[in-house]
Structure 1
Amino acid sequence: MNRILIMALVALIGFAACKPSGKQLPEFKLNLSVSNFDGKQVKVQKRTQDGWQGIDSAKVENGLARLKGTLQNPEMLFVSLEGVRGSIPFFAEAAEITVKADPDNIAEAEIHGSPIHQRYQDFTDKYEEYDEQLYQHYQAYRAAEEAGNEEALKAAEDAYDQAEKDKKQFLVDFIRANNKDIVAQYALYRNSYQFELDELESLVINFDETMKSIYLDELFDRVHVLKSVNVGMPFKDFEQTDVNDSLIKLSDKVGAKALLVDFWASWCSPCRAENPNVVAIYKDFHDKGFDVFGVSFDTDRQKWLDAIAADKLTWTHVSDLKGWSNAAGKLYGVQSIPHSVLLDANGVIVAKNLRGNELRDKVAEMLN
C-alpha cells in the first residue's frame, strides 16, 4: 500500500513538472490595414544589437493582415512591407493595435490602440518641432553665407546653437519628469549619444527601476561601458584585420608617446572633413612620437580602401567590416562617429573626441 502511494505521489509530481510554469507572457495583436498590397508579405520585427529579429509575418488579404507576438515588457517594434523601403515603428504592448498604412507613404501611417505609443507620438511631435527650427536657422545661415553678410551669419549661427540647446533641454526635462514611463527610457536610449558620462548616469539612475525594460537594461550597460573607457582608465585591447588582411592588435601600437584611436568610416562626411586635420597633425608630430590607429565602421572593403587612399591616411587601419556592429566600437561605447580616444605611452586614456586645434595642442603637450 505504501509502495502504491509513493508511486502515485511520484506520478503526481512528474505531471506537475510537465505543466507550463509561471504565467503566460503578455500578447499584442496587430491589425494592419494596407491598400493595394494584396498577396504581398508584411513582417513585424525588433531591432537588436546584432540586426533585425523577426516576430511574425503574414500575407495581406483583402487589404488586411493580422500579426501577433508575446512581450516580456512593452517595446518598440517595426512593421515592414515587402519591397517598400523603411519601416513603421510602433510601441507594442498587451493590446489590440491597429495600423493603417499607405505603401507609397508609410511615414504617415496611423497607429491606434496603444496608449504607450500615443505618449511616444506626443513626445515625438514636440521634439521634432525643434528640428524644424534647426532647419530654418540652417537655411538662414546658408543664405547669409551666400550673401556674404557676416552679421546675419553670426545671428543665424547663434540661433542654431540655441535651438540645439533648447532641443536637448526639452529631452532632459521630459526624461526627468517621466521617470516611470518607458517612453522616457526609450527616448534616452535613442539619444544617449548626446550626453557625456556624468549627465547620462544622472538621467539613468533617476528612472524608477521597478519599470523594467530592455531600454533601461541597455542604458545601465552603456553607463558601465563608458565608465570602463573613461579618461584615466587603461585602454581595452582588441584585434582586427588591417588593409593587408593581417590581424593587428591595438596593443601592438600602444607605447607611442601619444596614440590616437580614431573611429571613422568612408561614408561619414564629418569623419572625412576631420581627416585633413589629423593628417596635418600626424605629419608634424609622427617623428616625435605621435601615431594613429584607425578603426573603420565600413562594410564595403573597397570603399574603405579607396577612402584611405583618397584622404592620404598613411597610418595603420583596421576593420571587421561590420559597420555599426564593429566589435571595437561596442568595446569603447561608440554611438556616433567621428569618435576618438587619445592614449599616453602607458596606454592610459587621457582625452576623448578632441578635434582640430584642441587635438594638436594636446598632442604637442604630451610630446613635450
Structure 2
Amino acid sequence: MKHIVLFALVAILGLAACSTSKKDLPSFKLTLSVTNFDGKQVKVQKRVGDVWEVIDSVKVEASVAHLKGTIETPEMLFVAFEDLRGNVPFFAEASEITIKADPQNLRQAEINGSLTHERYQAFTDKFEEFDEVLYQHYQAYKSAEEAANEEGLKAAEAAYEQAEKDKKQFLVDYVRTNNKDVVSHYILYRNTYQFELDELEGMVVTFDETVKSSYLTDLFDRVMVLKSVAIGMPYKDFKQAAPNDSLIKLSDKVGAKVLLVDFWASWCQPCRAENPNIVAIYKDFKGKGFDIFGVSFDTDKEKWMQAITDDNLTWTHVSDLKGWGNEAGKKYGVQSIPHSVLLDANGNIIAKNLRGEDLRNKIAELLK
C-alpha cells in the first residue's frame, strides 16, 4: 500500500509542476542592507542540481541593494557577494524581505519579512544545540584518550552516539509533526543521507500532498533511486575513465563471484582510513573470486592517481572527475562517502556499506 501511495503522489506532483506558467508565479522583493560594499555586485541565486542559477543581480549603492524574483513555492535562496566565499541563505516567499548583512560576518545576517524563514530559523536554532552537546562529548573523548582512560573513552563514545541519536530523532519528530510545511520538506531533503530507504520513505509518504515544493519532488525522486539500488536489485551499469583515460564499464567487471563497488575520494579522510582494511581484504580474497571496482569522487586527476599509489590500491579504478556530481554516484544514490555496494556473480546487490570486519566476514561467508 505504501508503494502505491508513493507512486500516486509522484504523479500528482508531476501534474502540478506542469500546470503553472512562470508569469503566474508569486514574487518576492528583497531589500539588502550591506555595509562597506558600494559598487560591488550582489546576487540572489539558487542551487539547481550541481550548478548555481542566478535569479537577480545588482550593484550595491549607498549600502542598499534591491532584488526580486518569482518563486512557485517558498524555497531556500542564497545572497552571494562579489569576491566573497560565503553567502546568506534565506527562505524566500511572496513577501517583502529585508536582510541586514556585514560582509565580514555573513553568518550573523538579520533576516525579516519571511514567515517561512522564521520557522526554519526556529528549527535550526534548536537543531544546532545538539552540535554543542556533541562537541562537549568529543572533547571528553579526546581528554580521556590523552589520559589513556579506557572507561572514560567508553563513556564519552556512548554519550556521543546517544547525542547523535537524539539529534536525528529531533529532526524526525519535527518533520512528522510539521508534515504540511515546506520547511520540513527542505530539512529532510538536506538530511536524506542520514536515513535508510525504509526510514526515508516512511516520512516522505506522510507529507500532506496538497503542499508542494521542489524539495518534496526531490525527496520522491530520492526514494525511487534508493529503491532501484536496494539489496536484491540488479546493478546499474555505467562507464567512466580509468587513470590511463581508457573507458571501463562496470559490466566489464561483473561476473566475479563477489565484486565490491567502492565509492571514495582522495580528499575523503574516512575513505583513506578504510583503505588499509580494503587492501588487506583484497590481498586475502582476490585469488578466490573477489574483485573491486573503485569509483572516485575526485576532481583533481593527479591527486586521485597519487592516492591510488600511496594507498597501494591495485584494483580497477574509474572516475568522471565531477566530484559530488559523479554520474555513477547519482545512479546509486550516493550522498556520503565512503559508500560501497557488494554484487554477486549475477550482478545482484547483496550488501551495502559494509566496512572493516563486517566486510571481511561477509566476503568470507560468500566465498565459502
| Normalised-by-shorter TM-score class | over 0.9
Deviation at 1:23, TM superposition (A): 6.3
1:156 aligns with 2:156: yes
CA deviation after TM superposition for structure 1 residue 150, in Å? 1.0
- TM-fit CA distance, 1:22: 8.7
Counterpart of 1:314, as a letter, is T
State the 1:67 CA deviation.
0.5
Task: Go from structure 1 to structure 2 and tell me whether the alpha carbon gap of 1:98 and 1:348 turns closer, same or farther (over 3 Å shift).
Answer: same
Match of 1:125 in 2: 125
Equivalent residue number for residue 28 of structure 1: 28
The alpha carbon displacement at 1:24 in A equals 1.9
Residue 115 (structure 2) aligns with: 115
Shift of 1:32: 0.5
Number of the residue aligned with 1:167: 167
Match of 2:4 in 1: none
Question: How large is the Cα RMSD of the aligned pairs?
Answer: 1.1
- Kindly provide the amino acid, as one letter, of the partner of residue 178 in structure 1: N
Which letter maps to 1:181? D
Equivalent residue for 2:37?
37
Q: Which residue of 1 aligns with 2:327?
A: 327
For the residues of structure 2 that align with 1:113 and 1:243, how far apart are their CA atoms?
A: 52
- Who is 1:317 aligned against? 317
What's the CA shift string for 1:189-242, capped at 9, x where partnerless?
Answer: 000110000010000001001110000000000000000000000000000001
| 2:263 is equivalent to residue 263 of structure 1 | yes
Following superposition, the deviation at residue 97 of structure 1 comes to 0.5
Match of 1:100 in 2: 100
Separation of aligned partners in 2, 1:50 and 1:72? 21
Report the AA paired with residue 187 of structure 1.
Answer: I
Distance in 2 between the 1:244 and 1:22 partners? 47
Distance 1:22 1:165, change over 3 A: closer
Q: 1:232 matched to which residue of 2?
A: 232
Quick one: which amino acid aligns to residue 83 of structure 1?
Answer: D
- Map 1:46-61 to 2 at 5 A: 46-61=46-61
- Alignment TM-score, normalising by the size of structure 2: 0.94
Q: CA-to-partner distance for each residue in 1:297-346, whole Å, 9 max, x for gaps?
A: 11111111111111110000000000111000000000111000000000
- Residues in 2 aligned to 1:289 and 1:123: alpha-carbon distance in whole angstroms: 50
Aligned to 2:70: 70
- Aligned pairs for 1:175-190 (under 5 A) are 175-190=175-190
Cα deviation for residue 129 of structure 1 reads 0.3
Which TM-score applies when normalising by structure 1?
0.94
Q: Describe the shift of the 1:22–1:253 C-alpha distance in structure 2 as closer, same or farther (beyond 3 A).
A: closer
Closer/same/farther in 2, CA of residues 80 and 23 from structure 1, 3 Å limit = closer
SS at match of 1:211: coil
Q: Structure 1 CA distance, aligned partners of 2:41 and 2:113?
A: 23
Supply the distance in 1 between the matched residues of 2:349 and 2:21 (Cα, whole angstroms). Answer: 49
Q: Deviations over 1:145-167 (max 9, x none)?
A: 00111111111111101100000
Task: Count how many residue pairs are aligned between Structure 1 and Structure 2.
Answer: 349
CA distance in 2, matches of 1:53, 1:343: 38
Shift of 1:50: 2.5
Show CA shifts across 1:83-118 (max 9, x none): 111111000110111011000010111100000000
Q: Tell me the distance in 2 between the aligned counterparts of 1:105 and 1:291.
A: 50
Residue of structure 2 equivalent to 1:199:
199
Query: What is the rounded CA distance, in whole Å, between the counterparts of 1:237 and 1:313 in structure 2?
Result: 22
Counterpart amino acid of residue 311 in structure 2: D
Q: Does 1:295 align with 2:291?
A: no
CA distance in 2, matches of 1:86, 1:362: 44
Q: Alpha carbons of 1:248 and 1:23: their partners in 2 closer, same or farther (altered >3 Å)?
A: closer
Give the drift of 1:21: 7.4
Aligned-partner Cα distance in 1 for 2:22–2:32: 31
Provide the rounded CA distance (Å) in 2 between the counterparts of 1:328 and 1:89: 29
- Sequence identity of aligned pairs in percent? 73
Give 5+ residue unaligned stretches, structure 2: 1-19
**Amino acid in the other structure paired with 1:222:** R
Distance in 1 (CA, whole Å) between partners of 2:223 and 2:35 is: 44
Aligned twin of 1:3: none
Query: Which structure 1 residue ranges, 5 or more long, are not aligned?
Result: 1-19
Residue number in structure 2 paired with 1:15: none
Distance in 2, Cα, partners of 1:348 & 1:23: 48
> Of the two, which has the highest radius of gyration?
1
Residue of structure 1 equivalent to 2:8? none
Match of 2:3 in 1: none
The match for 1:343 is 343
Helix, strand or coil for the counterpart of 1:329?
helix
Give the match's secondary structure for 2:154. Answer: helix
Residue 138 of structure 1 aligns to a residue whose secondary structure is helix
CA deviation digits over 1:11-55, x for unaligned, max 9?
Answer: xxxxxxxxx979621001111100000000101110121211111
